[in-house]
């Protein structure tokens, strides 16, 4: 899960420099596979680390965060009409996000129990 944000960020930055439709299609397809797996892992990771009475609230808050992220992206799209600039901004934010996650998040509690 930690490395997925790095990969998504780098793919988004590479999309900016695509010159052909085939490169663009391959990168977008790879990105869509990564994002779907990333979201599934997040929605299973959140209930693992929360208490039982908050297991329904935190995934909903994460869904709200996704909604706010989409609103921010659409707001950026109002001011920057160049799609390559928008993709680069999102890629840089995703790469920084991956760096912060790798510093402050611990491994899954179930993984740590099994590891012992």
CA gap 66, 7 in Å, rounded: 19
Q: What is the model's pTM?
A: 0.56
CA gap 3, 66 in Å, rounded: 19
Angle at 57 between CA 99 and CA 109, to 5 degrees: 50
Sequence spans of domains, the chain: 2-115
Q: One digit per residue, pLDDT tens: the chain, 116 residues?
A: 556 666 777 777 777 788 888 888 888 888 777 777 667 777 777 777 777 788 778 778 878 887 888 888 788 778 877 878 778 877 788 778 777 777 776 666 666 666 66
Helix-strand-coil split of the chain, %, nearest 5: 85, 0, 15
């Amino acid at each position: 899960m930690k490395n997925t944000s790095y990969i998504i960020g780098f793919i988004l930055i590479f999309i900016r420099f695509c010159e052909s439709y085939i490169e663009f299609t391959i990168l977008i397809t790879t990105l869509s596979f990564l994002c779907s797996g990333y979201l599934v892992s997040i929605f299973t990771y959140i209930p693992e680390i929360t208490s039982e009475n908050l297991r329904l609230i935190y995934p909903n808050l994460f869904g709200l965060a996704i909604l706010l992220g989409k609103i921010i992206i659409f707001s950026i799209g109002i001011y920057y009409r160049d799609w390559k600039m928008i993709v680069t901004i999102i890629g840089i934010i995703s790469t920084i996000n991956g760096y912060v996650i790798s510093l402050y998040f611990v491994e899954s509690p179930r993984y740590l129990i099994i590891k012992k």
